[in-house]
Structure 1
Amino acid sequence: MSGGLRRFMGGMTEKPRELLATCVYGLGAGAAATAFQLAVHLIFRQTYGRAAELDFGQFALWSLVTVLAASLISGWLLSRFCKEAAGSGIPQLKMAFWKDFGYVPWRTVWVKFVAGAVSVGGGCSLGREGPSVQIAGGLSSQLGGFLGEAKQNRQQAAAAGAAAGLAAAFNTPLAAITFVLEEIIADLNSRFLGAVLLASVLGAFVVHGIIGPQPAFILKGATAPHWQAYLLTPVVAAVGALVGVLFHGGTLWLRERERRMNWLPDWAHPALGGLLTWVLGCAVFYETGRLGVFGLGYDDLSAALDHQLMWRTALLLLGAKLVATVACYGFGGSGGIFSPTLFLGGMAGVAMAGLAGTVIPLTPGDQLALAVVGMSACLNAVVRAPMTGILIVFEMTHEFSLVPALMIGALISSSLARRFFPHNFYDDLLHQDGHRLDRVIPPRDLRSWEQLPVSAIANFQPVVLRDLSPETLRQALKDHPYERWPVVLDGKPAGVLRRQEAEEALAENRPPKLEELITCRANQTIRELETSLILSSANMVALTDADGRIIGLVTLHDLLRAQVALSERRGIA
């Protein structure tokens, strides 16, 4: 069947073939994201939905068993089969889009689906939208291979699938389009725009047909805000942004320390986040009867937006959810940050509106406007996608009068967040894991390309091993996913260490063997670099300064990726 479909696709001209392929990506990705959403809600209803009807003692016991079991199952799946399925999934999809030409392995898709559904549905304080994007983008990448696309030509499949997945997760196709263009592709004029738009619409059609046209949560009674609300908008936006900054910084801090926790097996780390979530969730449930700390929290967020929560309850949920989400993500759980940041921002807005309402008269419409400003500001402070934050709220309310307040909030949250962290949360996660995204834009002709300096495509933040002690080797293997490292001993380049050789040397308790490290200068041309790479058995060339110190690195993969970008720009790929 696969061979016949490939022959059929191969017999079509380029435009119809791309159109049919995009339809396949959109429908398949939308179905996968919808199935993931249904799985998460089914697990949560069958566990916490039933436990909430019991007395508190039974609830505490049942929720403890559930969240620990979910965390341990998720941790085992991630540790045993695919560590790349941890966390949100959006940074990993960005890496696949830019460094692997859109190729995502099948194991990432199924592990993310199972681990994410079990983790979020089992009560861990994480979201389902990020996993939906990774699952949908990864599935579309695999569908691209099924349709005959080579591994180095699946960027369009991954981008289209990501848009369809987010559209299905939120029921907001416009926000899905802008998010993929803002965050993953980083180009609003991308040549993938048509595919992203079509796939997003198809993803929304799928979720409409299976679940219905309702968005992730309902905003009732949205009206044009009065001057009092506009007066408070900058304050609420600043508070929402600061909550996002706390989440951003706290999670990075905890992730860094989690990597040093050698006293506990990796598969057990998520259970620490689950345990802290249980403590906070039970405390909040005992005080308020609310389940918002566990799982998505959308029921409590919807209640808050419908004026069913007192501001003190919203403040309590805000504090508990913030700590629980930092713990679940920082300890390596599988789940996203869209839901938690919207929840945190919404609760911050409700709390601020309620507190201000004791002094300034605010209508229910004003309070709702401030709540959604908090949601948009918190999300934007973390992901730095202002158009996405505005459009998510607009598509849920269909109330254009809220847009000016949302725009003010986006401006304030962006400015404030950048004072603390220059990069968004996803990019900081990649930097923390030792990755660097280089979006190469080459010239239009090959001759000019070959005359560019090597510095145009080099990585000037390489991970270099300064000694070959067992402790250094173990830390490098744990902290970085690389297959090889340049080694510098006594201040001079000594060679290249392969990952397999490091593992074998540790197992056999012997010094590792190094391969020859080829070097060049940063001002040499890419044409000269190609010759050096041919001579390198490690497919790696180090850039050195006048004193012989390593200042950068270029791999064969870097060169090929840049040349593929050149071919696509010239229209021959």
Structure 2
Amino acid sequence: MQVRGSYKLSQVKTIVNGIVIGVLAGSAVSMFRWSIGHMTDLMRYLYINSIHHLSFLLTTIVINIAIGLLVGWFLKQQPDIKGSGIPQVEGQLLGEVDYGWWAILWRKFVGGILAIGSGLYLGREGPSIQLGSTLGQGVAHFTKQVGFDRQVLISSGAAAGLSAAFNAPIASTLFVLEEIYHNFSTNIWIVSLTSAVTSDMVATYVFGLKPVLYMRSTPLPLKYFLWVVILGIVLGVLGRLYQMVILRMGKWYRHTHIPWYFNGIIPLLLVIPMGAFFPHLLGGGSDIILRLSSANYPTLILCLYFIIRFVFSMLSYGSGLPGGIFLPILCLGGLIGAIVGSIAVNLGLMNPLYFSSFIIMGMAGYFAAISKAPFTAILLITEMVGTLTHLLGLAVVSLIAYGVLDLLNGKPVYYSMLQQLLKVQTKMNLGRTAEIMETVYAGSQMDGKMVRQIKWPMGSLLTKIQRNGVEIVPAGGTLIRWGDTLFINVSTKNQHAITQQIIALTTET
């Protein structure tokens, strides 16, 4: 039996929610970005002067230890502010993780400013995503929306947060669909795009229209695409190395035998000499990315910068301080692209005019490999650099890097981090259920079958089917078609395992 509800009214409500969340997330993340930028400038000034004045050195040490203790106290109170926050958001949308929105919001905001603003090699984008998602959760709380509607608001907040962090609304929407939800549901993308565009408008008002990583560049001719293939292979191999190291940093930090929530003191002390001797390498990496195309660094210096950024990015993120890996990954990819491009130029095999193209392709390929989200990588770099002329190169290098990492058995890094997170989480109450939403793909096991013909996982119950804007109450004889969106209640006891079984049934075989 089909039920025609107030679907259009529901869509209007969804869009209004997206606008509200976009304004809130855009305002919060813009303040977050502004505060980090000003604090980083202050800390850079202290680091540079610490090698000339003992008073500056002592002041810097005291400040950084105080930051480590304060943020450590926040972490002890609310462990879910740890790291980028993206695995926590994914876990929340899967129903495996849950937390109070206000307790996370203000601690992530203050802790992120202190940790990232100190100059550690951390990005603002992960915390921005969690800040946006908690604001979406807050809106759901005040409007008394639960279940799938609550999930939609949380995911739209995540898109809004990333959009404000990078001024990239299209890529931010795609990131939610490709990396977090792994499908392209109409319900999700409408509200996510609305919130992302609204959030971007707020951030643009504050920071201006200039793209975050704008650089002058010339599209690479096809005759040089052999170097794109080489770059893609290198990015895939080094991307797998990145994954292997970053996922082991927690184990290595445990050897310090200090409480995990105070691990941040270690990189906060180590960053002082780094800031004194390499001040332009501080932070997430946008400064060094913008310098690469015009600074004419020798190849050996580029290799040295890559090693420094790689090692200290691991130390920074592995400590558990609030901060992301998104921008640091782009920085490392840009350095790899610059190294390969520099080698090609030095060998006389490529015109120096196209050097910047390798920096841009390196960023996209490295992120595509590590996150296994090539569509997001292509669009993200396109929006951040502010040009469409590199689309072919971005697509080729992203696909090659993705394929190489796949051959090396790499998994999406945020998914792997979520698995680590779930191992230390207490299991949910046995009797509770959560609503999940999955889209049926053409050629999947469910496509073309009746509800009663499907072997549903134990602990799951199909409650509703949405098809072309029409809601269907399912019965045993209801035929499931590709493109259908299924609303399923699942037991929270084994929610992750049940969800994975349902995903296997709804995706292509």
TM-score by length of 2: 0.79
Which one of the candidate residues 209, 220, 223 is aligned to 1:225? 220
Deviation at 1:145, TM superposition (A): 1.6
For the pair 1:156 / 2:191, whether they are aligned, the reply is no
CA distance in 1, matches of 2:119, 2:494: 40
Which one of the candidate residues 167, 176, 183 is aligned to 1:180? 176
For the pair 1:41 / 2:3, whether they are aligned, the reply is no
CA distance in 2, matches of 1:27, 1:241: 38
The AA in structure 2 aligned to 1:176 is: S
Which of the two has higher C-alpha Rg? 1
Which one of the candidate residues 321, 324, 329 is aligned to 1:336? 324
Deviation at 1:52, TM superposition (A): 2.9
Q: How does 1:477-516 map onto structure 2 within 5 Å?
A: none
For the pair 1:191 / 2:187, whether they are aligned, the reply is yes
CA distance in 2, matches of 1:232, 1:451: 49
Q: Which residue in the other structure is 1:237 paired with?
A: 232
Structure 1 stretch displaced more, 13-22 or 431-440? 431-440
Q: How does 1:271-286 map onto structure 2 within 5 Å?
A: 271-279=265-273, 281-282=274-275, 285-286=276-277
* Partners of 2:22 and 2:157 within 8 A in 1: yes
Q: Match of 2:211, SS?
A: coil
Q: Which residue in the other structure is 1:303 paired with?
A: 291
* Partners of 1:88 and 1:131 within 8 A in 2: yes
Q: Match of 1:428, SS?
A: helix
CA distance in 2, matches of 1:100, 1:26: 25
Q: How does 1:408-427 map onto structure 2 within 5 Å?
A: 408-427=396-415
Q: Which residue in the other structure is 1:252 paired with?
A: 247
Q: What do residues 231-262 of structure 1 show as CA deviations (whole Å, max 9, x unaligned)?
A: 2112222223333222211111121343x448
Q: Which runs of 5+ in 1 are unaligned?
A: 1-9, 459-552
Q: How does 1:25-36 map onto structure 2 within 5 Å?
A: 25-36=21-32
Q: 1:32 and 1:449, CA in 2 relative to 1: closer, same or farther beyond 3 A? A: farther
Structure 1 stretch displaced more, 209-218 or 109-118? 209-218
Structure with bigger RCO (C-alpha 8 Å, 6+ apart)? 2
Deviation at 1:404, TM superposition (A): 1.0
Deviation at 1:65, TM superposition (A): 4.3
* Partners of 1:101 and 1:153 within 8 A in 2: no
Q: What do residues 316-339 of structure 1 show as CA deviations (whole Å, max 9, x unaligned)?
A: 111011111111222222110111
For the pair 1:89 / 2:85, whether they are aligned, the reply is yes
CA distance in 1, matches of 2:492, 2:53: 58
The AA in structure 2 aligned to 1:70 is: I
Structure 1 stretch displaced more, 67-76 or 295-304? 67-76
CA distance in 1, matches of 2:190, 2:97: 18
Deviation at 1:168, TM superposition (A): 0.8
CA distance in 2, matches of 1:112, 1:398: 30
* Partners of 1:229 and 1:370 within 8 A in 2: no
Q: 1:151 and 1:104, CA in 2 relative to 1: closer, same or farther beyond 3 A? A: farther
Q: Which runs of 5+ in 2 are unaligned?
A: 1-5, 426-433, 441-445, 462-489
Deviation at 1:103, TM superposition (A): 7.2
CA distance in 1, matches of 2:417, 2:23: 30
For the pair 1:291 / 2:280, whether they are aligned, the reply is yes
Q: Which residue in the other structure is 2:387 paired with?
A: 399
CA distance in 2, matches of 1:166, 1:556: 31
Q: Which residue in the other structure is 2:472 paired with?
A: none
Deviation at 1:71, TM superposition (A): 2.9
Deviation at 1:57, TM superposition (A): 5.7
Q: Which residue in the other structure is 1:373 paired with?
A: 361
The AA in structure 2 aligned to 1:36 is: F
CA distance in 2, matches of 1:76, 1:356: 49
Q: What do residues 260-292 of structure 1 show as CA deviations (whole Å, max 9, x unaligned)?
A: 44831223212223334445x25xx53xx5431
Which one of the candidate residues 87, 90, 102 is aligned to 1:106? 102
CA distance in 2, matches of 1:210, 1:298: 18
Q: Match of 1:336, SS?
A: coil
**How large is the RMSD of aligned CA atoms in angstroms?**
3.5
Q: Which residue in the other structure is 1:139 paired with?
A: 135
* Partners of 1:29 and 1:161 within 8 A in 2: yes
